Structure 1
Amino acid sequence: MFRTLRSWVEWIEESIMAYMLAAMTAVAFFAVIVRRFFGGEVWGLKPSIWGLELTLYIFLFFILFGMSYVLRKGVHIGIDVLVNLLPQPMRKAFNILATLLTVVYALLLSRAGYQAFDKFWSIKVLRSKGSDELAIPFFFTYGFLSLSFFVLALTASFAIWEIWTGRKESLTAGHEAEEEVDQAVASSAAPTIASGTSNPAERGA
């Protein structure tokens, strides 16, 4: 049940991030085409003015939304040269400490984002403040930032339990990324080797 729910959540996250990337690409492409061939305006739209801002905001939300997903998948790059020199119990303790610091850091940023959100939401004059071109409300941006870092803190908290129980070695990819690269290289080289040695008779001919 838990694995099914987790797979559904990951599928939703991956779909949202894919749509964000597609939206960024589409906006940037549309802005370039309009600026290059239509003098910067078509159908009353001026993407050369608001296109950059929209792309930046989508990219911002993409990063905030995806950081907990990447952390949960364990693909953050980690420098573990010194940690790997330690004995296993001490290495485990250091990994738990690093993950705990990640939780604290995420909670501090989540709190700061909430304070900014509360300021722009509670004061009526500031509630209407937004970005320059699209007038995206600042309270929405800070609220999304606060929520994203809170989810990051929850993800790191679950990672502490996984490291403690031995299900995961560390919060980052470490040497697991190297192993995945080696596996990918080996799998891509296998068909070439097989095709080159599959028919000795043809090679002799």
Structure 2
Amino acid sequence: MKPLNKTTVEKPAYPVKIMQFGEGNFLRAFVDWMIDKANNDGILNHGIALVQPIGGSDGIKEIFEKQDCLYHVYLEGIKDKKPVKEVALIKSVTDIINPYTEYKKYEDLFLSEDLETIISNTTEAGIRYEEGDDLNAEPPKSFPAKVTALLHKRFKKFNGDTSKGLQIVCCELIEDNGSTLREYVLQHAPLIILVLTLKPG
């Protein structure tokens, strides 16, 4: 069997318009699969950069990089009242980033003019308010603090241009996931202003 990478498969060069927090099976086999279908059908032209939401091992990153972020999704079910089995080669993922060891690359991504959307599945424990999270850390520890910090930096870079705002799609399995994330981001936001006010110089 041939190895799966760009030497054996032609892979399109999509602009990275989606930053995805989470690299698990659900997002890869559902959301990324749908983005890939839309790309193939000419509806979208969106690349996806995966961001590891927590630090630790680079094991999954190494697997992705070895395969140039290519992977297969196996589908089995009923279509047009007939049983089907399909294998889809997903080409929409362009990169995987560990923000704890590649912060500059991560920052370049969330400050990119091409970026349009954040998709997340940081597990049920991901959307939480963590008291005292350092918003100046590279990156902050919790997901809401990461979102607060990156939105603030993006706001500053583009001078508040509303056309550079981001759509945020939460896939965490908690009630009111998007509203809860927004609540925690707004809780963190005044702390950024306070830190900037107190910062020497």
TM class, shorter-length: under 0.3
CA radius of gyration, larger in:
1
The structure richer in helix per residue is: 1
